[in-house]
Chain A
Amino acid sequence: MNKKDKKAGNDAETGSGLPETDANLLDKKFSRRDMLRLTGASGLGLLLGGSGVGGILAARQASGPAVPAIAPVQAAAADTIPFYGIHQAGIITPAQNFLCFASFDLTTTKISDVRKLLEAWTTAAAALTAGTLIGSMNDNPNLPPTDTGEADGLTPSKCTLTFGAGPALFDGRFGLAGKRPVSFTDLPAFTGDSLEPQWCGGDLCVQACADDLQVAFHAIRNLARIARGTAVLRWTQEGFQRSGSADPSGGTPRNLLGFKDGTGNPDVTSDAEMRKIVWSGSTDGPAWMNGGTYLALRRVRFRIEVWDRSSLSDQEATFGRHRQSGAPIGARDEFAKLNLEAADASGRPVIPPDSHSALAHGDGSVQMLRRSYSYSSGMDLKTGQLDAGLVFISFQKDLMKQFVSIQQRLSRNDRLNEYMVHTGSAVFACFPGVREGGYIGEMLLG
């Protein structure tokens, strides 16, 4: 399968097979944000002229839902990734332009508070991913608005919010120890790790992705606000990749070392492949994870300045690929099979066995779904060097068999290790998807 076919997989999630409710259909024609804008500005029961959406009039009734007189044409639908579904969005969803990742520590010790938080987050997430304002108190002059407002008027921008639980959630605090999936623990130490506690772990995570950074930030900001008193931010990291408009062909994005990253990813349009690699199934572990997946995150700082002074041939030997085309060394096509047997005239392997691609590939039997972003966090004030690198994110059904086994190989021998350092690490069990009326994590907490 070539890359173009993979891109066509945009619909993989929208075709989740869930019946479309009337509410969904209504949303497509007329977003809730428009209704709020038209009807929310006054509690006086007056008819208001809408500005900015074609002078539509809408009547707000004393009770019951607002009824739009005319439904404006919405370009938003194509820009919306459904929040509800069998699986959470933001996993096999083609990577959006931006990432805001947040890890939270619970400050409460009551499981009922955790439940309330996830219920509130679910309600907010449905609004955030639909591009509508959160909550109902956005027009009372005596109150802070329930939505912070910076995404008002913006499209959903393919916003996805993906929620997960860290191994720490299953310690003694909430009586959930018995529900921890057997192999779900913090990652073992890898050779060369230089982890900083402020970039590690967390009880809960939210991965916000969107084609607009303000939309993604808005989501995390509001979820953190809702969490106040129950959970606090532990760490956050923003990420980016080349935008869709900068690369209309939708080629494999390049990381900050200049190489294409994600070429060997499995095919997200293949249900069979996703079931084999990504989704936890009914026989894979606890029922509350059926349809979920495990996220591994590593904050990897690149030694940018060192890399920049290495020769092209060294760089290519480090990756085992050509920089320009992304093809394996000796091949022309980016998606050519990685031939680790090929040798040159003197019998030396064409692709160095300790190159990144060769080690990551191994015998090809173990795969995971990578969904990484670059990060830039200004500069290191001590050295004057750039603090930039990779927010490595992968999804897999079994952390130990997939991420850990690959990372152990890489951490011991990868040539790339000379040019990077792992500063942060976290794993999260990403819940299965949620249906309307339910809440994220319901199977675990309910």
Chain B
Amino acid sequence: MKIGYAVPAGLLAASLLFAGCASNDNSNNGKNSNNSGNNAAAQTGGGATPSPAVTAASTTAADFTTAIDEYRKYVIEQCDEFVKQTEGFTDAVKAGKLEEAKALYAPARMYYERIEPIAEALGDLDPNIDARENDVEAAQWRGFHKIEQALWQNKTTDGMKDVADRLLKDAQLLRAKVETAEIDANLLVTGAVELLNEVSSSKVTGEEERYSHTDLYDFVANVEGAQKIYELLKPELAKKDPALEQTIGERFTALMNELAPFKSGDGYVSYETLQADEVRRLSQNLDALAEPLSNMGTILGV
């Protein structure tokens, strides 16, 4: 859950603009490859409305077709599973099975957290699914965290039937929308950093899951989502800046090693059990990864 929606909205706008000058993703990428090595031509001859994001994307020398296709496949897989798991969760809530609902809550959310930047680029879906109390007007608050509050703080499923139904509908809507979501290289690069920024601003501080304290599930899922993007962009990155590619790989490993001791069964320990120095180390390892990761944009060219 992001604090502000300005960036994703901007991303979406950029994607739409991008879509406006090409019929589909493939032709976009085809054009990019044609222009490789001729930045000036791309700048002046692209025919797009001048905009930094469009300019950036259209001067790209690399071919991201495979990465984008693979990422879309990943997003759809995650979404399919997300809908399935959310249904299990909302069924438990509606059936009044408190403990079962609590057990299903965090694992279901992981599928969402891995692809959060996509959801954020799709209008109101993110706040509807993932807003925390105070993120939105009280009357508009719905989604996972409202149910989280009921389950852990109020210790009941009472009054959550409608919220559960809407959550499942929102999840299904997300699944439907990702099918047509514009995904370009810029979204991948920015999205990976966004995922880590999510961790940095709310998960590592324990603010995301303030009632259930399942923040580490989200933490891991965000990092996995970023790692997926890194893996997809790795071939291009290795061509452009092998040292950067290697550093990012090493830092993913370091962060995962740092997270490993907090695994518990199929899940993760409660955020409340973390010591202050453990939180700090996790945060510092995250920053150590996010810094080089934020330079992946180098593959987009200048």
Interface residue tally of chain B, by bracket? 20 to 34
Chain B residues with CB under 8 A of A159: none
Chain B residues with CB under 8 A of A228: 284, 287-288, 291
- Whether B43 sits at the interface, judged by CB under 8 Å, is yes
Q: A107-B284, A107-B288 are in contact. Are A142 and B294 (CB under 8 A)?
A: no
- Whether A178 sits at the interface, judged by CB under 8 Å, is no
Q: Which residues of A contact B (CB under 8 A)?
A: 43-44, 107, 137, 139-144, 225, 228-230, 232
Q: Are B297 and A142 in contact (CB under 8 A)?
A: yes
Chain A residues with CB under 8 A of B92: none
**A43 to B40 Cα, complex, angstroms:** 10
Instruction: Please give me the residue from chain A that is nearest to B60 by CB atom.
Output: A142
- Whether B292 sits at the interface, judged by CB under 8 Å, is yes
Chain B residues with CB under 8 A of A142: 56, 186, 189, 297-298, 300-302
**A366 to B186 Cα, complex, angstroms:** 63
CB distance from A443 to the nearest CB of B (A): 26
Quick one: which of B53, B55, B291, B292 has the most chain A CB within 10 A?
B291
Q: Are B43 and A44 in contact (CB under 8 A)?
A: yes
Instruction: Please give me the residue from chain B that is nearest to A225 by CB atom.
Output: B291
Chain A residues with CB under 8 A of B254: 229
CB distance from B243 to the nearest CB of A (A): 11
**A228 to B52 Cα, complex, angstroms:** 29
Instruction: Please give me the residue from chain B that is nearest to A226 by CB atom.
Output: B291
Cross-chain pairs A/B with CB under 8 angstroms, 10 sampled: A44-B43, A107-B288, A139-B302, A140-B297, A140-B298, A141-B52, A142-B301, A144-B294, A228-B284, A229-B292
* Contact pick for B291, options A43, A139, A140, A229, CB 8 Å: A229
How many A-B residue pairs have C-beta atoms within 8 angstroms? Tell me: 47
CB distance from A39 to the nearest CB of B (A): 14
Q: Are A43 and B288 in contact (CB under 8 A)?
A: no
15 other contacts beyond A140-B302, A228-B291, with CB at 8 A cut-off?
Answer: A43-B302, A107-B288, A139-B302, A140-B298, A142-B186, A142-B189, A142-B297, A143-B294, A143-B297, A143-B298, A144-B297, A225-B291, A228-B287, A229-B251, A229-B292
Chain A: interface secondary structure?
loop
- Whether B205 sits at the interface, judged by CB under 8 Å, is no
- Whether B295 sits at the interface, judged by CB under 8 Å, is yes
Chain B residues with CB under 8 A of A107: 284, 288
CB distance from A223 to the nearest CB of B (A): 13
Listed from nearest, the 6 A-B pairs whose CB atoms lie closest are A142-B297, A229-B288, A142-B300, A228-B291, A232-B284, A143-B297
Instruction: Please give me the residue from chain A that is nearest to B286 by CB atom.
Output: A228
Contacting residues of chain B (173-223) with chain A, CB-CB under 8 angstroms: 186, 189
**A143 to B186 Cα, complex, angstroms:** 11
